[in-house]
Amino acid sequence: MKDPKQKVTKKRMLEMLRPGKSGLRITLLLLLMLSFGFSQSYWVKYGWQAFNSAGDARILAMGGAAVTDFGTSVSPLFNPAASGKVGIHNLNYTHQSRLAGMINSDLLGFPIQNFSRPLNLIIIHEGIDQIPDTRNILLDFGLDGVPGTGDIGEGNGTLDEGERLDEDKLKYFSQRQLGLHLSTSWKKDNFELGIAVKSLFHSIGEHSGSGIGLDFGVLAVPWKNGRLGLTIRDITTSWQVWENGTIERFKPTAIAGLSQKYRFENMPLTVSGMVNVYLDGNGKSLDDDIHLGGNGANYLLGFNGVYDNKIALRLGRNAIGSTTGGIGLSWDNLSLDYAFLNEPSGSGLGASHMVSLAVNSNWIRQYVEKL
């Protein structure tokens, strides 16, 4: 006869593994254990840019001030609490060309249906090709230009008078990032809560690494046509593990925001304004708009004007202080959006362009079935 305590233990384990509150606690616990279980690691600021710069043309045209945004399958990237509020244009594809075409990225977002809890998946791919590798092209022979003489400047690692670069040794490499963002949400009193698990697979030249992170979000509608939102990215500290054993860790960042919508009574026009404050947990920098204690913060602004639910004009200011803008066209089962992101002031890096296509997945399914 089996021990009754053993039966209870097995039952409890099964309950913990089922989707729901217990399963969520286990996920949080595992991520916390993973985050604090690596002792030999160091803090870095950059590494998850594939997520930080991602979005669709509609959102990024408004400066990325989207912590209170919902309605598309890309909104949960900015606030996981929007996972259960995806509209009929639920299948989104975005192509993005940044910095005068040097960086190209693609995004695909869609809800995963037939589950008791809403699930939303976003797939991000970003690539940079033809990156010059200049590490071994210096002919570091010193002032006399002859190797092995031990004269002044030989082997010091700098380009001195009499030295030159060997163009035949110039090589090129590529960088690839693949990101997965899976989110869900649930309602608690007057709040919508959400959580997202994200992973990043990164390769640069001959090196590769993978990482995992956790985002948390809250949405509320405290007054008519008004919204409040909060997102904490990398809430348990995200990490990236490279093939050589190097472990990079990333501190949490918080984004708070509010938005207000106004509908004109005598014409089919709706305007929305939004503001977000992005608090960086990595300390201060010269590019910060605000200093809060020992940390820096930037503000994001967005404006969206929609006429007759068909034509949209958008403007914004993103986290690096660049002006953004775009237009959108919408039909019953299809919407097309374009965004323009101006280059950072004085950078000379070039502007960024992106195009998004969002469709009703049921419309596509019905069309395919008729074929």
pLDDT band at 191 (very low <50, low <70, confident <90, very high): very high
Is residue 184 situated within a structural domain? yes
Is residue 164 situated within a structural domain? no
Q: Which residues pair with 263 in a beta bridge?
A: 270
Q: Are residues 12 and 121 in the same domain?
A: no
The confidence score (pLDDT) of residue 13 equals 38
Contact 143, 152 (CB under 8 A): yes
Q: pLDDT tens-digit profile of 118-151?
A: 999 999 999 887 777 777 777 767 766 667 676 6
Average pLDDT (235-246) is 85
Q: Are residues 10 and 85 in the same domain?
A: no
pLDDT band at 368 (very low <50, low <70, confident <90, very high): confident
Is residue 159 situated within a structural domain? no
Q: Is the pLDDT of residue 94 over 90?
A: yes
Contact 274, 62 (CB under 8 A): yes
Is residue 153 situated within a structural domain? no
Q: Are residues 13 and 102 in the same domain?
A: no
Sign of the CA dihedral running 72, 53, 68, 275: negative
Is residue 57 situated within a structural domain? yes
The confidence score (pLDDT) of residue 97 equals 82
Average pLDDT (99-123) is 88
Mean pLDDT check: name the lowest of 78-82, 157-161, 288-292, 315-319: 157-161
Give the pTM. Answer: 0.80
The confidence score (pLDDT) of residue 226 equals 96
CATH code for the domain of 214: 2.40.160
Q: What is the mean pLDDT of the chain?
A: 83
Strands (E), the chain: 42-43, 91-98, 103-112, 119-133, 138-139, 164-165, 171-188, 191-204, 207-223, 226-233, 238-242, 247-250, 253-263, 269-280, 290-292, 295-307, 311-317, 323-330, 334-341, 352-359
Is residue 349 situated within a structural domain? yes
User: CA 172, CA 181: separation in Å to the nearest integer?
Assistant: 30
The confidence score (pLDDT) of residue 247 equals 86
Q: Which domain holds residue 2?
A: 1-37
The confidence score (pLDDT) of residue 356 equals 96
The confidence score (pLDDT) of residue 150 equals 67
Q: Are residues 27 and 176 in the same domain?
A: no
Q: Is the pLDDT of residue 102 over 50?
A: yes
Mean pLDDT check: name the lowest of 90-94, 159-163, 259-263, 269-273: 159-163
Q: Does residue 16 or residue 322 have the better pLDDT?
A: 322
**Count of domains observed in the chain:** 2
pLDDT band at 31 (very low <50, low <70, confident <90, very high): low
Q: pLDDT tens-digit profile of 279-295?
A: 887 777 777 788 777 77
Q: Are residues 28 and 83 in the same domain?
A: no
Mean pLDDT check: name the lowest of 102-116, 219-233, 305-319: 102-116
Contact 12, 23 (CB under 8 A): no
Is residue 119 situated within a structural domain? yes
Q: Are residues 276 and 348 in the same domain?
A: yes
Contact 352, 341 (CB under 8 A): yes
Q: Are residues 4 and 129 in the same domain?
A: no
pLDDT band at 346 (very low <50, low <70, confident <90, very high): low
Q: Is the pLDDT of residue 56 over 60?
A: yes
User: CA 114, CA 116: separation in Å to the nearest integer?
Assistant: 7
Q: pLDDT tens-digit profile of 161-184?
A: 766 677 777 888 788 999 999 999
Q: Are residues 318 and 350 in the same domain?
A: yes
Q: Are residues 197 and 215 in the same domain?
A: yes
Q: Is the pLDDT of residue 349 over 60?
A: yes
User: CA 65, CA 326: separation in Å to the nearest integer?
Assistant: 14
Contact 289, 320 (CB under 8 A): no
Is residue 140 situated within a structural domain? no
pLDDT band at 347 (very low <50, low <70, confident <90, very high): low
Q: Does residue 342 or residue 345 have the better pLDDT?
A: 342
**Helix, strand, coil content of the chain in percent (nearest 5):** 15, 50, 35
- The winner for highest mean pLDDT among 24-28, 226-230, 263-267 is 226-230
126: exposed, middle or buried (C-beta count within 10 Å: 0-12, 13-18, 19+)? buried
Q: Is the pLDDT of residue 19 over 60?
A: no
Q: Does residue 237 or residue 215 have the better pLDDT?
A: 215
Average pLDDT (28-37) is 51
Q: Are residues 182 and 297 in the same domain?
A: yes
